[in-house]
Structure 1
């Protein structure tokens, strides 16, 4: 099964024979890449039900592709409502870091883009049509320090 680089421009898509070779290509050819999560099979109807009422929901008939984009703090909150989890975009790790989806900082606004596209897999004289979804987002990772309650109170008194 071929693996296509989704970071390459649409008119110059590159295909690889393994996930490992694709990963190496993405690391080398796209050093400041956007992170992607892919779901191999995803029903078109489910994508439409989730995102149809959003103002940024779009369909491209030529590409047979649906997209929906969420931007900035308002987009973060809207995704929290859709996902029924207001803290959907952050994760604390045991190693002392916190990774979070970056939607806005002092310099710029970022976005999360969800995309559903019909893929056609061909082998010999057979073809399989399958919908797939992926989404793109920016992340930031920060160190955090857990302080105990007494230290916080001492600081507040000073």
Structure 2
């Protein structure tokens, strides 16, 4: 099994193929392997001798935990979260909203724009990760108990 640093580097290598800038995603691919700050509903991964314990927290309390054994599924889980979050932040900046005093209107056009950008990023990554993105439901499958 690889180390946390090796998984972070693997994620970085995959994301370098995309339009994303390292400063946009670096924290989101590093934080899953650091348990010191438990961001609400962010992915966390604990490496075990036989697989990967996936976790999510809300207000410091565990709300999801699941043991999986597929390295690519674990990486996809982190990629899907990272890409969704970074593309959402890009939309906030593009439309000059701060999510405190101004908000995005999640109409069909905005949702399609958001999905299209995520699709372009997964297509640039390619392989099983793009395949799972196009099949839809993989992240939900990973997060099912």
Structure number with the higher helix fraction is: 2
Give the structure-2-normalised TM-score.
0.27
Structure number with the higher strand fraction is: 1
Relative contact order: is structure 1 or structure 2 higher (C-alpha 8 Å, sep ≥ 6)?
Answer: 1
